[in-house]
Structure 1
């Protein structure tokens, strides 16, 4: 008998909803240190000086994930089969420089994730799913285990392609799990939580394109430096074109301020345009292009789902 069964429930049924309306964002109890770069009472938009240059090489890393099927692993040590997921995920690196951007590498992996120690390697006619362990059988933990695999793949690719001491790595999404990498910035496009108090939030709304807020330190379940910047945008909405950047909490103030200035200068030329991308300008052109390539490389979800069902019945 085969070691797993495919659940007939559509794996793409649920989707995350991003909160776009600032008035709907939740408040936070996060630790905040506002006066990293300047006193809280003296917060105002920061324009990088004329001596600030973008990095010679900007590496942009991104990853995508997809649940191809929900499965049940038949565990001889458990009274009932243990739930799991069969997932495809991919990561890639785009290298941006003075002469344009080029694709450095894309890698696609597939895993069968379960809390069971008996999760099998699943070979289908189209792909092989390697077993991977989750801490427990909840869907939340299975999803977190998948995200950890995506993050680790991004880290592996980034380490492989860092060739210069002065290059800068931009990862799409929070920095968590990657803060140990040197000169690395997390890039967050959407905002679910209002982290700053009202006086400092007003500075975010007052940013002009190419400006940033002062750097601050924030701590939730992990600590990092952060700042907001505004990209070129037509809309006059208070937070239109605003992205949040994160850097390691281990950096000293001078280091993180220098990084913040470099990023604020480097990103505006890469901003997405609204007639090509509904998430413009925050969805940077290299990120949008890389996402499309990565999703293409994941393969046909219907084909993989049928292959998994065939392998389960074999």
Structure 2
């Protein structure tokens, strides 16, 4: 038995993310699981030639637009279901009601351009009632109206997951709306048409039709690349990226990994995955990869300022704070819903 005094010193690294956000590598074992995704790795380099790609000299975009959204469930409510033939003096029972979510959500865009620096460009907020109850209607309160969103009751899907997915779908629609309006608002910024870069915080699914857009994924659950190529990701230096590859799961996209500048530590510290539309030519996808490699490290957050550094980019962090402020005070909203329930 080796004594404590003579035991080899254990080396370890601490994940920089606040544990309340989980980990930048997301599963119970804190390792990245295998994937069944179809991957075509030879778009930029043949697999045998894969190597970390250093930043290249490319022109700066006229503006960088950062899009993000936030959501918050204010209350779970129960919607009573009318009986087909109500008995006289019937009393409503718990099993005569369906659970629903009352939630607020918001999306916005931060523009970073030479003339005005970083500034809020567009912002929209909504309140919604998410339910499978077909008799649901809007819920007016003193804090605003929760618009009824009725979704199909899939008996094979967990109800909580079903309603959360419906909420996320509405948030995605709102992000598309603010992204489109942001580009319209750029007309008065002196930015040449077609020279901006749109960075969506999160997967690009459902938004691949947006031109010059990349999705930024901060955390990782799955190893999409073959083992020999996947191993190269942890070897990236700050500012380096992998070659671009084509990836297909339930939807197709171009993708690449990039390491943002950060304190050396865990193998995947500072790693983000970027993705863009699959239906653009490979040279255009590679150009977007080069542009992201130039732009995004500039906006990486610092560990002492952000619990999710460096992946949570500074403009996105600021946008999240403003969006959550726009959602309103949760205690007041919850009270307004309780008052509305008995009105």
* Pairwise same-fold verdict (TM > 0.5): yes
SS at match of 1:175: coil
* CA positional deviation for 1:77: 6.4
Q: Is the 8 A contact 2:64 2:196 kept in 1?
A: yes
SS at match of 2:319: helix
Q: Is the 8 A contact 2:201 2:215 kept in 1?
A: yes
1:93-149 C-alpha deviation (Å, 9 max, x unpaired)? 000123421110221100001112321111111121011122226111100100011
2:76 counterpart (57, 67, 70): 70
Q: Is 1:93 aligned to 2:109, yes or no?
A: yes
TM-score, with structure 2 as normaliser: 0.83
Aligned to 2:124: 107
Aligned to 1:4: none
Q: Is 1:303 aligned to 2:332, yes or no?
A: yes
> Separation in 1 of the partners of 2:227 and 2:30?
12
Q: Is 1:20 aligned to 2:25, yes or no?
A: yes
Q: Is 1:157 aligned to 2:178, yes or no?
A: yes
SS at match of 2:148: strand
* CA positional deviation for 1:247: 0.4
> Separation in 1 of the partners of 2:218 and 2:252?
19
SS at match of 1:162: helix
1:219 counterpart (225, 231, 248): 248
Aligned to 2:99: 83
* CA positional deviation for 1:236: 3.4
Question: Structure 1's 204 and 278: CA in aligned 2 closer, same or farther, altered over 3 A?
Answer: same
1:63-91 C-alpha deviation (Å, 9 max, x unpaired)? 00011111122233678222211010000
Structure 2 residue runs without a partner (length 5+): 1-19, 85-94, 185-192
Aligned to 1:61: 67
SS at match of 2:48: helix
Aligned to 1:229: 258
Q: Is the 8 A contact 2:253 2:277 kept in 1?
A: yes
Q: Is the 8 A contact 1:113 1:119 kept in 2?
A: no
SS at match of 1:206: coil
| Matched ranges for 1:267-306 at <5 A | 267-306=296-335
RMSD across aligned C-alpha pairs, in angstroms? 1.8
TM-score, with structure 1 as normaliser: 0.90
SS at match of 1:312: helix
1:35 counterpart (28, 31, 42): 42
Aligned to 1:3: none
1:148 counterpart (169, 181, 192): 169
1:190-228 C-alpha deviation (Å, 9 max, x unpaired)? 111111122112221121111110001111111111100
Aligned to 1:11: none
Q: How many residues align?
A: 299
Query: Which deviates more from structure 2 when the two are superposed, residues 207-216 or residues 96-105?
Result: 96-105
> Separation in 2 of the partners of 1:210 and 1:300?
40
* CA positional deviation for 1:17: 4.1
> Separation in 1 of the partners of 2:60 and 2:266?
28
Query: Which deviates more from structure 2 when the two are superposed, residues 162-171 or residues 179-188?
Result: 162-171
